[in-house]
Amino acid sequence: MQGIALCSDCGVELVDTPPVSQEPGKPELTLVEVWRASHELEAQMVRGLLESHGIDCALKGEAVRLTHSIAVDGLAEVRILVRPEDVQRAKRILAFSDKDSKAESEPG
């Protein structure tokens, strides 16, 4: 806004354009979705499974639920994202785990 130089809440100097968060020469980090969890607990379980296999992941979509405690109509949905080079391995791990959990739940 023209004429305003400082944030009225925190006193930080305002700028016309946001700073570039990426270092020059570094490629932009791209993440790929490998799973959609219907709620936080499922997302944390999937994250733990992937990380136990050495695959770093990020969770996306928690903001509405964490801010407003809303968990209806897919608003609690959390996307699990991994690096492109980990996608195939992550999908194999998740497919195997999903198949294994279904086999355990079937009456035998």
Q: Looking at this protein, which amino acid is placed at residue 96?
A: F
- Model pTM above 0.85: no
Give me the average pLDDT of each 10-residue run along the chain (108 residues): 66 63 67 91 93 93 57 70 94 83 56
Residues in the chain: 108
List the domain boundaries for the chain: 32-101
Number of helices followed by number of strands (H, E) in the chain: 3, 3
Q: What is the pLDDT of residue 98?
A: 72
Residues 30 and 50 sit within 8 Å (Cβ to Cβ) = no
- The residues with which 6 forms a beta bridge, in sequence order, are 13
- CATH number, span 32-101: 3.30.70
